[in-house]
A and B are shown apart, each in its own frame.
Chain A
């Protein structure tokens, strides 16, 4: 019993840390990416294609994922960039999402995301842990992701970073849902509209899409980032 209370107490401390951290420190990586939801569907397989576009530079991400159980989903990504002003780089990432509570079981739905990334041919590693939260308010759904990131390796100075992503989505129709997203990291804060939806492709197969135009706030970071996402789920 005492051990259970201690574990709960420790978990609350971790959660408080993850919640507060984005407000007291920020990450130096790009802030705009994707807002994660804390849910896992058993048996699901997914192929994902993601693009972030800033001016003439693009970051591409191709992933394949598979549910390992009713609450754990694992996905592997190949990441590359293209642009006139940047050298082409390649990286690999392994991601594990763990659904902690059933949807609407508690007032807030909870999940944890672990990401391990390695830049190819360079001694650059990145480990990210994110707390995923989601809350339904009638037709509105709010998702909050707080990331705690550690970078290390021979070619990078070891540092701890954080980032925050918030999405407020209106459930208008399955094929079209408008949303507003806010991102915060050391590269700055950004906010902008996103639209998304699902296209059914047959028995238990669907295509999920997202398109967003996120505008930088203040003097740091890009003025505008376009983000595209396609997920084929089967």
Chain B
């Protein structure tokens, strides 16, 4: 049983192939695009490029993700596989302006 657990964990250490990716730009404390549509039950790589000089944090409790992206740099966030629905996200450093959502169909 213990050996099976170890083997299962080791086998899980493999790269995910052919994953769709979407680029999100942070500019003037706004997300571009602020609305994304992705397929249900599919893992997606979000490449978040912060063009502002100040840091921003991509955060979503619904997605169970938080990622600080320093100014003039980029961060990677993997989301999914998700059930159909709408998943909001926001920028924790500028929450009044930096808002968006992911629609899963």
* Interface membership of A15, Cβ < 8 A: yes
Which B residues contact A (CB, under 8 angstroms)? Answer: 2, 5-6, 9-10, 12-16, 43, 55, 57, 61, 64-70, 75-80, 92-95
**B79: A residues at CB distance < 8 A:** 104
Which 3 residue pairs of A and B lie closest in terms of their CB atoms, listed nearest first?
A107-B12, A104-B78, A174-B61
Contact call B61/A15, Cβ cutoff below 8 A: no
* Interface membership of A10, Cβ < 8 A: no
Q: Count of chain A residues with Cβ under 8 Å from any Cβ of B?
A: 27
Contact call A141/B68, Cβ cutoff below 8 A: no
B-contacting residues, A134-189, CB 8 Å: 136, 141, 171, 173-174
CB proximity of A43 to chain B, nearest CB, Å:
5
CB proximity of A45 to chain B, nearest CB, Å:
11
Contact call B5/A106, Cβ cutoff below 8 A: no
Contact call A42/B68, Cβ cutoff below 8 A: yes
CB proximity of A71 to chain B, nearest CB, Å:
11
**B77: A residues at CB distance < 8 A:** 102-103
Which A residues contact B (CB, under 8 angstroms)? Answer: 12, 15-16, 19-20, 23, 41-44, 70, 102-108, 110, 133, 136, 141, 171, 173-174, 203-204
Nearest B residue to A18 via CB reads B6
Instruction: Supply 14 A–B pairs (Cβ within 8 Å), ascending by A.
Output: A16-B6, A23-B2, A42-B55, A42-B68, A43-B55, A70-B70, A103-B64, A103-B65, A106-B15, A106-B16, A107-B14, A110-B13, A173-B61, A174-B61
